[in-house]
Structure 1
Amino acid sequence: DDGGAQFRVLGLSATPGSQIKFIQEVVLSLRINRVECRSDEDPDVKQYIHERAEEVVVVAQDSACKKIEHLINDLLEPHLLKLRQSKALPYNGNATLTSYLLVRARTEHVARTGDHRLNHTFETVRQLVDIRSSLHSQGIGSARTKLVRLRDERGGSQLVKSPQFQLLMEKVLKSSVDPNSTSTLVEEKLMNNPKLKSLQDVLVEHFKRAEQQGQSSRAIVFSQYRDSVGEIVNVLKTSRPRVNPRHFIGQGNAKAKSKSTGNELKGMTQKEQHDVITEFKNGFYNVLVCTCIGEEGLDIGEVDLIVNFDCILSPVRSLQRVGRTGRKRNGRVVSLVAAGTEEKTYRESKTKEKTIMRAMKRPDAFRVAQTIPMLPEDPVVEEKVMDIPRNFHMSQVEGHGDSNTRQS
């Protein structure tokens, strides 16, 4: 601006931001003076794309899951009370707490007071809230894996020795089987999460219909957690050859084998990731079970079905997931949502997505940069003489002569 530079840049983004304030920051930082937004429903877009049917399957949770949630809340209560009495946790209520809110509260508390003594309590609450979140979206099997891991890591702590923790552990072990078990009994595996049965039904029905129509088809299943990906693959393997799954996860750090949780999925090398994608595109596998690594940036190819095993609050990631289908022909998206807390989260995510889309289409939604236009409102064409000095690489200018300057 200080130098009087004038320029024009066109920027395109499929996912501009998860919140209005974040989009506003981009608008100001890049000095954007006009925002245009299009969705699948706009006439000038709809004519060029394929249909993408979206379905929501609400899965009822069993009584064991509800009982385990109550036990987790009982275990959380004294730790939450300690944080609130110390004025370290500004959020009211228990059910709405998330790992993100707890990390933010701890950061703000330390910045405000310089006191780190509550860090251990914050971490205990965060781990328990994370287990509860897994219970909501991934079922008892995923919660069991994390609970066993917590027990092994903090075996001598007061938390693990407490009667409340022992009661919780006993209930979880009785109500589930090891997600990494090599057992081939489908009934045992499905008891960990009602979603697993719904997922299996959706995929079997999809590929059966494709076979009847003489078509080949591929599907992607998305899950936020690596532990859940392994459990899903183990269950879907029981439906071979119609459903032939393969896990696809990030590199991460290779996890050591644990006697309490079985063979956990290890991070994949870049070569392994490339090989899996190639095999999937060539039809060796027809179902890819992914973590967030499959949401964007990879050439996974065309798929006919996307299944969201869990819901995510971020509209950006949601758009990235569903964008994997409906590219070359009509596609389908199925979201498996647990009744209760996760169902509420899903509704909030959809509302948030619509709010952002409406805002993007309003001319007054953002404060835009007041830039000087490159062209005047009523341009007038003028003919002028341009003097080109010899030291300005005259050999590159057509019609140059021997004189010091040339009129053209």
Structure 2
Amino acid sequence: MPFIEHPLIRPDAIESRKYQEAILNTSSKRNTLCVLPTGLGKTTLAILLAAHRLEKYPESKVLITAPTRPLCAQHQKTFRECMNILEEEIILLTGKISPGKRYELYKQAKIISATPQTLDHDLKNEILDLSNFSLLIVDEVHRAVKRYSYPFVAKIYMKEATHPRILGLTASPGSERAKIEQICKNLFIDSVEIRTELDSDVKPYIKGIDTEFVKVNLSENLKNAQTLLKTALKERLEKLKKYNFFIKTKRELLEAQRKVSKQIATQRKPFMFYLVSLIVEAIKIWHVLELLETQSVKAAKIYLEKVKQKKTKSDKRVLTDINFIKVMEILEEGEEHPKITELKQVLKREFEENKNVKIIVFSHFRDNIHHIHELIQEICRPVILIGQAGERGLKQKEQIDVIKDFNAGYYNCLITSPIGEEGLHIPSADIAIFYDSVPSEIRTIQRRGRVGRTKVGKIIFLLTKGTRDEGYFWTAHRREKKMKSILREMQNKNEKKQQSIDDFT
């Protein structure tokens, strides 16, 4: 196995790979958006480019930014392990360090890893001078839109740096051309490099992922509840059509709520309050329907209890809806979602086949995560990984401790919310179970990237037939396919443009 030989790279630290060398060739010359599947070495590529820039500009520095402190800490750790630079010169800066101390550290360090929020603050307060940074590495660049700090940091960097170069990294920038182009514009990207599992220069390094689909049917009882909820929802959506709101998705419903709420702030017309109430009712019913179809009866019942405790008019109208009353009666009968049964069977099978297997279970909703955790205690050693918000939320240190314990084998089943998809470095698991499907291609790709990094992995999809589970799965599939097509087109376009420039010069 050949390794990279470079004065700033530790011996035998980085394996030589052709696709990384090809991407490095582009990124060393132009600001580049690099799209690579998780596990194929985005950070390694960043290290190689950092070594190249520091060799070219020996007195310069490198700046790394990522969305969360744990991710920034992981980058610091990896750079220290691979680069032939004193460890104390590769530092992590957070808001917990005083501004005065950060000012001194910016001057002393060679490579700095920090969240964009910290950089944003320090740039605005003139604590940080970017003139001597020859490389800005931006991780998870799909966030580089709207009011997120990435665009501001990139703008100041391009303005101040004497020898600027930007490398943007992500497994998925999204499937909308406008968003991808906006990301490129915000980060001053000139070239796009994408690799997928099918590329010839990548294939030798793909460990492979087996895919299994476990499909379940709702019982007749739960199908009746599903029909009643759909009827209640349709009644509200039909009323909204009279006010030119043609809602087909949850996102459109939430957007309608934002739009009307914004109008109320200036117009305050009586019918607008009625509209808001109608939209809120639809959102609540939609949520119960989603929990019933994709999560568990227990999760739906917990949410309904929360609705009952509230005193708003919209809550009261929902609870007195005849269809809704019938749904609550059905849920009280004690029947559970068939996914719960299948999940337990899948876990039993996998742990019987291999007692050392490590499994991640992805579920979007916290109430369902806690429910799953309670039900599988006798099958495995489960642990919950969720975000910081709420009474039962985990602080960042607690999140990191959970991951360490999972990695060490103290726990063998990690049940996680979206926090486990991005923002934390979770070592590769053997199996990922998608308890629910998500329509986001970004989240689907991130979930998939949690397995098959160092050996063949397995992904198991739990899908409820005839529900949004199936719809979400295919939506994410189409969006991922669309994303790859757009990025390929942009890459080819940039290559032709560069070839023309090279021919001219």
Same fold, judged at TM 0.5 (above)? yes
Conservation of the 8 A alpha-carbon contact between 2:386 and 2:419: yes
Q: How does 1:7-406 map to 2 (within 5 A)?
A: 8-87=165-244, 89-91=245-247, 96-98=248-250, 100-110=251-261, 114=267, 115=269, 116-117=272-273, 118-154=275-311, 157-174=316-333, 176=334, 191-211=335-355, 216-239=356-379, 243-254=380-391, 266-341=392-467, 342-363=469-490, 377=503
8 Å contact 2:385–2:414 — kept in the other structure?
yes
Q: CA deviation at 1:150?
A: 1.0
Unaligned runs of 5+ in 1: 177-190, 255-265, 380-408
Q: How many residues align?
A: 338
More helix as a share of residues = 2
**Structure 1 pair 192–33 and aligned structure 2 pair: CA distance change class (3 A):** same
- 1:109 Cα shift? 3.9
Distance 2:159 2:403 in 1: 49
Q: 8 Å contact 1:28–1:367 — kept in the other structure?
A: no
Q: Which amino acid in structure 2 is aligned with residue 173 of structure 1?
A: E
CA gap of 1:126–1:369, structure 2 versus 1, over 3 A, is farther
Q: What is the rounded CA distance, in whole Å, between the counterparts of 1:135 and 1:304 in structure 2?
A: 29
* Aligned counterparts of 2:235 and 2:377: Cα–Cα separation in 1: 42
1:31 CA drift (Å): 3.6
Contact map agreement 1:249 1:268 (CA 8 A) in 2:
yes
Contact in 2 for aligned 1:72/1:132 (Cα 8 Å): yes
Deviation by residue 1:325-378 (Cα, 9 ceiling, x = unmatched):
1111111111111111221221221122112112211248879998999x9757
Alignment check: 8 A CA contact 1:37 1:360 kept = yes
**CA distance in 2: counterparts of 1:12 and 1:107, whole angstroms:** 32
Q: Is the 8 A contact 2:191 2:491 kept in 1?
A: no
TM-score (norm 2): 0.61
The TM-score, its normalising length taken from structure 1, stands at 0.75
Q: Is the 8 A contact 1:32 1:369 kept in 2?
A: no
- CA offsets per residue over residues 183-237 of structure 1, 9 Å max, x none? xxxxxxxx411111211122221121114xxxx2211000000011011111111
The structural deviation recorded for 1:320 is: 0.7
Deviation at 1:21, TM superposition (A): 2.1
1:284 positional shift: 1.2
SS in 1 for 2:455: coil
Single out whichever of 75-84 and 279-288 deviates more from structure 2.
75-84
Could you tell me how far 1:110 is from its partner in structure 2? 5.0
283-292 vs 145-154, which moves further:
145-154
Distance 1:131 1:81 in 2: 19
| Larger strand fraction of residues | 2
Give the conservation status (yes or no) of the 8 Å contact 2:166–2:187. Answer: no
- The CA deviation at 1:140 is 2.2
Q: Structure 1 residues 112 and 274 mapped into 2: Cα distance closer, same or farther (>3 Å)?
A: closer
Matched-pair contact (CA < 8 Å) for 2:318–2:324: yes
Contact kept, 8 Å, 2:429 with 2:451, in 1: the verdict is: yes
CA drift at 1:276: 1.7
Give, in whole Å, the separation in 1 of the partners of 2:240 and 2:321: 19
- CA deviation after TM superposition for structure 1 residue 162, in Å: 4.0
Q: How far, CA to CA, are the matches of 2:177 and 2:205 in structure 1?
A: 28
Which secondary structure does the structure 1 equivalent of 2:472 belong to?
helix
Gaps of 5+ in 2: 1-157
Shift of 1:246: 1.1
